[in-house]
Amino acid sequence: MTPPDTPQKLTRKDFASDQEVRWCPGCGDYAILAAVQRALPKLGVARENSVFISGIGCSSRFPYYMNTYGFHTIHGRAPALSTGVKLANPNLDIWMITGDGDGLSIGGNHLLHILRRNLNIQIILFNNRIYGLTKGQYSPTSLVGKKSPSTPMGSVDNPVVPAAFALGAGARFVSRAIDTDAKRLVPLLMKAHDYQGAGLIEVFQNCPVFNDGAFTHFSDRKTATETQLHLEHGKPMIFGAEKNKGLRLRPNSLQLEVVTIGEDGITEADILVHDQTNRAMAFLLAAMEPPTFPIALGVLYCDTSVGSFETAIHAQIEQAKQTRKPDLGALMRKGHTWVVE
């Protein structure tokens, strides 16, 4: 964690800018903004060192609403801009804001590389499974058959699962939350902040205008206990209204299955314990989808064994400074030279 540089206590209000928030009424983005504004004062980072960098899309308006430094860049390129900012000043605490179109379509390449490099920033990916700003075209996370202005007969291409993409790219902190679940989103943002590398938080974000209810099959509070699995490192993966359902590996296969404690001789000891450092398990958890499975929320994967990109880059610079004197004049005089009288 970046050490606190100012003793003064900041509050949620200190992080709200004077700009009028311009998302559609009921948009999930409001809830995420509120969660971020609640999380930030708890992190002890000076406001001038907090930086929000976004691409293009509804979610990418986010920096304008934060009273911190902010850069609303160009479509898909926030990871690349963030890399330059962090390389230039590693003390800045960067939050990158992107969406399913910005981060996984036009900027998919950059997202892949920022994750594998493990740049020490937080990445909030607002997944609403639709293009909002351009008025409702299907996105790379839209489910097959999505009817939209550009796919009047339904989309035909398979969606990408952001968490699985991230794991495949070599991300070392992969997590998920639901926009309106502030109780869990705020601490998750803090965990991602604690992580010394690229902390990815995928937020399932409802777009009431163009894709309303895209996630209700698991986000609906009435059925949430049956459809959501809240992961906790070192705790058995149990869910259900009666806390009697759990995950185990189907015998002789590399597949998960949902079992009920107390049925068929299943006891709590049979249920898998969540190990956030288990990458193979993280892939299985990322792929789970209702109704067969609950959706896995919280930290799917966290590997702290690798350092961050900018640390390694600056370590090399420090090493070079120790072995060679920075003297350009001397450098230019090295090798074959001759004097003209």
Partner 1 sequence: MDTITTPSESTKAREQLDSVVIRFAGDSGDGMQLTGTQFTQSTALAGNDLATFPDFPAEIRAPAGTTFGVSGFQIHFASHNVMTPGDAPDVLVAMNPAALKVNIKDLKERGLLVVNSGAFTKGNLKKAGYESNPLEDDSLVGYRLLALDISKFTLAAVAEFELGTKAALRSKNMWTLGLLMWMFGRDREPTVAWLKHKFASKPEIAGANIAALNAGHIYGETAELPVGIGAYEVVKAKLEPGLYRNVTGNEATAWGMVAGADLAGLTPVLGSYPITPASSFLHAMSKLKEFGVVTFQAEDEIAAVCAAVGASWAGSLGITSTSGPGVALKTEAIGLAVVTELPLIILDVQRGGPSTGLPTKTEQSDLLQAMYGRNGDCPLAVVAAQSPGDCFYAAIEAIRISTKYMTPVMLLTDGYLANGAEPWRIPDLDKLEPFPVTFHTDPEGFHPYLRDPETFVRIWPKPGTPGLEHRLGGLEKHHDSGNISYDPDNHHKMTKVRAGKIANIANDLPEQTPCVGEASGDLAVVGWGSTYGSIYQAVTRARAAGHKVSHIHLRHLNPFPRNLGDLLRSFKKVIVPEMNNGMLSKILRSDFLIDAIGVNKIAGQPFKVGEIEQAISTHLEASK
Nearest by Cα to 53 from 34, 30, 27, 79: 79
9 binds partner 1, rule: CB under 8 A:
no
* Selected binder of partner 1 within 9, 13, 25, 88 (CB under 8 A): 88
Which DSSP symbol is given to 207? B
Look at residue 190 and give the partner it binds from ligand SF4, partner 1, none, a contact being a CB closer than 5 to 8 Å depending on partner kind.
none
- Which residues contact residue 254 at a Cβ distance below 8 angstroms, ignoring those fewer than 6 apart? 280, 284
CB nearer to partner 1: give 4 or 84: 84
State the sign of the Cα–Cα–Cα–Cα dihedral 10, 11, 14, 17. Answer: positive
1 binds partner 1, rule: CB under 8 A:
no
Which of helix, strand or coil describes residue 257?
Answer: strand
- 275: its two tokens: 């190990």
CB 219 within 8 A of CB 180: yes
CB of 166 to partner 1, least distance (A): 16
CB nearer to partner 1: give 48 or 242: 48
CB of 316 to partner 1, least distance (A): 6
Q: Output Rg (C-alpha) for the chain, integer angstroms.
A: 23
338 binds partner 1, rule: CB under 8 A:
yes
150 binds partner 1, rule: CB under 8 A:
no
CA atoms of 58 and 67, how far apart (whole Å): 18
CB of 291 to partner 1, least distance (A): 38
Number of residues that bind partner 1 (CB under 8 A): 61
CB nearer to partner 1: give 67 or 278: 67
User: Binding to partner 1 (CB under 8 A): which residues in 168-207?
Assistant: none
157 binds partner 1, rule: CB under 8 A:
no
CB of 101 to partner 1, least distance (A): 16
Sheet holding 256-260, edge to edge: 238-239, 245-249, 256-260
* Selected binder of partner 1 within 1, 24, 109, 306 (CB under 8 A): 109
19 binds partner 1, rule: CB under 8 A:
yes
Helix (H) or strand (E) holding 229: strand 228-230
Query: End-to-end CA distance of the chain, in Å?
Result: 60
Looking at residue 236, its amino acid is P
Look at residue 317 and give the partner it binds from ligand SF4, partner 1, none, a contact being a CB closer than 5 to 8 Å depending on partner kind.
partner 1
Contact residues for ligand SF4 (CB under 6 A)?
23-24, 27, 29, 58, 128, 132, 207-210
Give burial (CB, 10 Å; 0-12/13-18/19+) of 49. middle
* Selected binder of partner 1 within 37, 59, 83, 155 (CB under 8 A): 83
Nearest by Cα to 204 from 234, 224, 232: 224
101 binds partner 1, rule: CB under 8 A:
no
Return contacts of 186-190, CB within 8 angstroms, 24+ apart.
186/35, 186/38, 186/39, 186/42, 188/298, 188/299, 189/35, 189/36, 189/39, 189/122, 189/124, 190/39, 190/42, 190/43
CB 122 within 8 A of CB 193: yes
328 binds partner 1, rule: CB under 8 A:
yes
123 binds partner 1, rule: CB under 8 A:
no
CB 206 within 8 A of CB 132: no
21 binds partner 1, rule: CB under 8 A:
no
CB of 29 to ligand SF4, least distance (A): 5
Look at residue 67 and give the partner it binds from partner 1, ligand SF4, none, a contact being a CB closer than 5 to 8 Å depending on partner kind.
partner 1
CA atoms of 274 and 231, how far apart (whole Å): 7
CB of 93 to partner 1, least distance (A): 10
| Site of interaction with partner 1 (CB under 8 A) | 17, 19, 46-49, 51, 53, 56, 63-64, 66-74, 77, 79-89, 91-92, 109-110, 112-113, 313-314, 316-317, 319-321, 323-326, 328-329, 331-333, 335-341
